[in-house]
Structure 1
Amino acid sequence: MTLSQQLAARIVALSYEDLPTTAIDNAKTVILDTLGCALAGAGEPVVDTLMATPGMAISGECSVLGRCERLDLLSAALINGCAAHALDFDDVNTAMGGHPSAPLLAGLLPLAEELDSSGAELLTSFIAGFETEARLARAVNFYHYDLGWHPTATLGVFGAAAACAKLLQLNASQAATALSLCVSLASGVKANFGTMAKPFHVGHAARHGVMAALMARQGFSASLDAFEHRQGFFNVFNGEGNYQADRVLEDWAAPLDIVMPGIGIKLYPCCDSTHASIDAVRLLQGEQAFDVADVERVVVTIHPLRLTHVDRPVLRSATDAKFSVQYCIARTLLEGKIDFDSFTQHAYEHEAATSLMAKVETRPHAHKAPTPEGNYLTELCILLRDGTQRFKRLDRPLGRHAEQPAPTAMIRAKFDRCAAYAVSPETGNRLHDTVMGLETLVRVSELTALMRGDE
């Protein structure tokens, strides 16, 4: 059997009864988090621009997150995915080096609405997609990531297809075809980070995942050896000798990736590769207060895999600021926090921020080998005018592992802040409670109605 066939057999075989409580609870948490991010991102310029682009938002019957328009299934997946990633605030996954939930949920929700699926069916499909993209990531990363591919899109498309295949109740042969089709649909490069193209990657992956599953259901064909073929996914995207295909099926679901290492909730609305630096500044500020006016220089040392896309000493836009470790450090020093207001034009162009950014020096960490912990290793040294130093070393940001999860109160506060951009506090509370009881929901359409802001 080919890899597509073996992978499909496992996806099809997964049942709700197989899922441990931790997997269900974690899935509900990241679904809630992703919904909040999408509600907050639904009115962003990137979404408005897509909505206004001919052919990108075709009218239909499917709900769209945080918006009143109704679109066809594929358009809804595209717009939902773009909205969920517009603020770069959605959850992350260590193996992927990217964002697992947005490409899954963006297409699953309108598909579940069309199929009149239950909450339990949605959860099972979501977890199947999560496991699929995370296991494929173990085979190709971090070489895939370092080459410049955007794993949220290039791997997320397979997760989206797996999730939709599960929800559509495709057989193993059809699911294998959907995965093989996605080999030709995977795309997205990191050169476009800091622009509208990055969230578009996610919407694109969601749309293509849904489309591949629908095409497979209709009898469309694809080469079932599209992963391992000499000119297939592994060799084309990574190059011969730069992947470990056997890791895809190794210990499949034992445990599920969503259980261990678990989910990664972002606590700041900016690039994940800046978060350890932000945490380091905040921890130092809490341990021993110092005046920002006394900062002479800041030296931050980051793994080169991450430094590549966050070393941005000159900002071109508010979006660019989200990918600048220099700016994120400067803004945290100034305000002790990072939130949505940190990335307004007024904030990133403010003289205090730009002058402090000039004091931040970035260095690649000497430990260049990729690590299973996600290459988050960060060292921050703040040199003060009196000659003293403040130093902090972090192996990863807060909230990135089952052993150090994000506090529940912070997750809820983040959701409430995000949801408030699109729905009333009352609807936000109902949405929270509905997601937290998703396994008991008879119809997902009850959830999508709330996401439109319907009372």
Structure 2
Amino acid sequence: MNAKISILDTLGCALAGAREPVVQTLLRTPGLNTIGAVPVWGRSEKLEPLCAALVNGAAAHALDFDDVNIAMGGHPTAPLIPALLALAASRECTGQQLLLAYIAGFETQTRLARSVNFHHYDKGWHPTATLGVFGAAAASAKLLGLDEARTASALALCVSLASGVKANFGTMTKPYHVGHAARNGLMAALLAEGGFTASLDALEHRQGFFEVFNGAGTYRPHLALEHWASPLDIVEPGIGIKLYPCCDSTHAALDALFTLRNEHGFAPQDVSSIEVLIHPLRLTHVNRPQLRNGLDAKFSVQYCLARALLDGHIVLDSFGQSAVNDSAAFALMQLIHAAPHPTPSIAEPGNYLTHLRIELRDGQCFSLQLHSPYGRTSDKPAPLESIMTKFQHNAAKAMGSDAAAKLSKTVMAMDLLSDARLISQMCVGKEVD
């Protein structure tokens, strides 16, 4: 069930992101837009598999609305499903085979994450890309039916293909990271299928992935296999479906704000100051009191809180140019101070620890501390109704409500599909000028 939900959610995010500038730019770039048979989701174009994996991967992450996993410290599905569906377009497979390959890729990247996080994350790597490439390769290798030796070569090759740093958050480069990982993972599997070789000790070599990306004393390789599949990571800690289209590290603060506002009923004009204390690992990329553009707003806890206070919700339109340029939001941002949480050692897995304190002009103070946004773990999932509503809203932007509803039913029954190509074929959107 978790696999189907994540695949559906990611497809919806990609459909909603199909007309974002990052996608438009990629499709105009020679060498990245080679015509082929794989649909670009939410659009009319069709590309060859590697280009399609890149573009659909970027679209899936363009709105920063796709699923998360606390072990990975990133977004697990966006690097996987674009690669798998690109491969499925030319290699006959069933929906059940696609699901199995997806789970294999999911577990590969989250298990590798256990070995390197959260030093890897804090150092500045973007795990969705640097670890997602391994997941995309493992998933593709599984779908291709590669043997152990060739699968190992594909993963070893990914050591040289992994890339993506958090300094580029708030720009088109962040979703490009994800498309890049999807394409490179698929490419690694295809090369390995053809006999391409790589050093099989590329992870643990003294100049390999662990040492180069993390450094001595900051990784624990044994954790990748410890208690393997007992349970699977997709089961526990499971998936987190984002209900706000902005950086995951702002979500606990938003949940705290909405909870306090619902309890106490204050209005924007009542607020004198807001203090938000966030785990240092997450504060680094969301402490943005000044905005450069709409994309940057998605990574500003100050803007997200101001917009939420003004509107009572956070939706896709919260990051449009008119919203970002709103003088009322700018004024509220000046009242919001962000700082590192003073006791990060009490954080629960995921390091979402956030404390929000709101002071009103009449002297009242309200505060709430959360260890995680709502709906981030398998024991406290996001409501299925909210997930389905999110998908319907996102997908309808590119393909209309009726087509979105049919796609939803197909994906949620994909284990019964005899031909997985149907999923991509159903994702074709309207003509785009």
Q: TM tier, shorter chain?
A: over 0.9
Residue type matched to 1:435 in 2? V
Residues 1:215 and 2:191 aligned together: yes
Q: Residue in 2 aligned with 1:147?
A: 123
Q: CA RMSD in A?
A: 1.0
Counterpart contact for 1:96–1:134, Cα < 8 Å: yes
Q: Residue in 2 aligned with 1:407?
A: 383
Describe the superposition over 1:86-128 as per-residue Cα deviations: whole angstroms up to 9, x where unpaired: 0000000101111000000011011112112110000000000
- Aligned partner of 2:94 among 103, 118, 131: 118
Counterpart contact for 1:427–1:453, Cα < 8 Å: no
Q: Residue in 1 aligned with 2:372?
A: 396
- Written as runs of structure 1 = structure 2, the 5 A alignment for 1:380-391 is 380-391=356-367
CA distance in 1, matches of 2:179, 2:255: 29
- Aligned partner of 2:66 among 90, 99, 103: 90
- Written as runs of structure 1 = structure 2, the 5 A alignment for 1:159-238 is 159-238=135-214
Describe the superposition over 1:275-315 as per-residue Cα deviations: whole angstroms up to 9, x where unpaired: 00111111111111012101000000000111000000000
Q: Residue in 2 aligned with 1:291?
A: 267
Counterpart contact for 1:91–1:266, Cα < 8 Å: yes
Residues 1:57 and 2:72 aligned together: no
Q: Residue in 2 aligned with 1:101?
A: 77
- Written as runs of structure 1 = structure 2, the 5 A alignment for 1:293-442 is 293-369=269-345, 373-442=349-418
SS in 1 for 2:398: coil
Q: Residue in 2 aligned with 1:251?
A: 227
Give the C-alpha shift of residue 367 in structure 1.
Answer: 2.2
CA distance in 2, matches of 1:399, 1:372: 15
CA distance in 1, matches of 2:333, 2:356: 14
- Written as runs of structure 1 = structure 2, the 5 A alignment for 1:261-272 is 261-272=237-248
Deviates more, 1:363-372 or 1:315-324: 363-372
Counterpart contact for 1:142–1:370, Cα < 8 Å: no
Q: Unaligned stretches of 5+ in structure 1?
A: 1-24
Give the C-alpha shift of residue 368 in structure 1.
Answer: 3.5
Describe the superposition over 1:354-412 as per-residue Cα deviations: whole angstroms up to 9, x where unpaired: 00000000110112349561110100000001111111111100110011100011001
Counterpart contact for 1:313–1:324, Cα < 8 Å: yes
CA distance in 2, matches of 1:195, 1:291: 32
CA distance in 2, matches of 1:157, 1:121: 20
CA distance in 2, matches of 1:135, 1:371: 21
SS in 1 for 2:369: strand
SS in 2 for 1:297: strand
CA distance in 2, matches of 1:263, 1:51: 31
SS in 1 for 2:276: strand
Give the C-alpha shift of residue 424 in structure 1.
Answer: 1.6
Give the C-alpha shift of residue 352 in structure 1.
Answer: 0.7
CA distance in 1, matches of 2:2, 2:348: 21
- Written as runs of structure 1 = structure 2, the 5 A alignment for 1:2-17 is none
Deviates more, 1:364-373 or 1:95-104: 364-373
CA distance in 1, matches of 2:226, 2:284: 31
CA distance in 2, matches of 1:386, 1:351: 24
Residues 1:157 and 2:142 aligned together: no
CA distance in 1, matches of 2:348, 2:372: 11
CA distance in 2, matches of 1:260, 1:304: 25
SS in 2 for 1:298: strand
Counterpart contact for 1:94–1:372, Cα < 8 Å: no
CA distance in 2, matches of 1:369, 1:46: 38
SS in 2 for 1:434: helix
Give the C-alpha shift of residue 273 in structure 1.
Answer: 0.3
CA distance in 1, matches of 2:169, 2:25: 17
Counterpart contact for 2:153–2:197, Cα < 8 Å: yes
- Aligned partner of 1:279 among 240, 250, 255: 255
Describe the superposition over 1:296-339 as per-residue Cα deviations: whole angstroms up to 9, x where unpaired: 00000000111000000000100000000000000111111100
Residue type matched to 2:233 in 1? D
Runs of 4+ in 1 over 2 A off after TM superposition: 367-372
Residue type matched to 1:446 in 2? L
Counterpart contact for 1:95–1:372, Cα < 8 Å: no
Describe the superposition over 1:43-101 as per-residue Cα deviations: whole angstroms up to 9, x where unpaired: 10010001101111111111221111110010000001000000000000101111000
SS in 2 for 1:102: coil
CA distance in 2, matches of 1:372, 1:121: 35
SS in 1 for 2:37: strand
Q: 1:234 to 1:371 in 2, by over 3 A?
A: farther
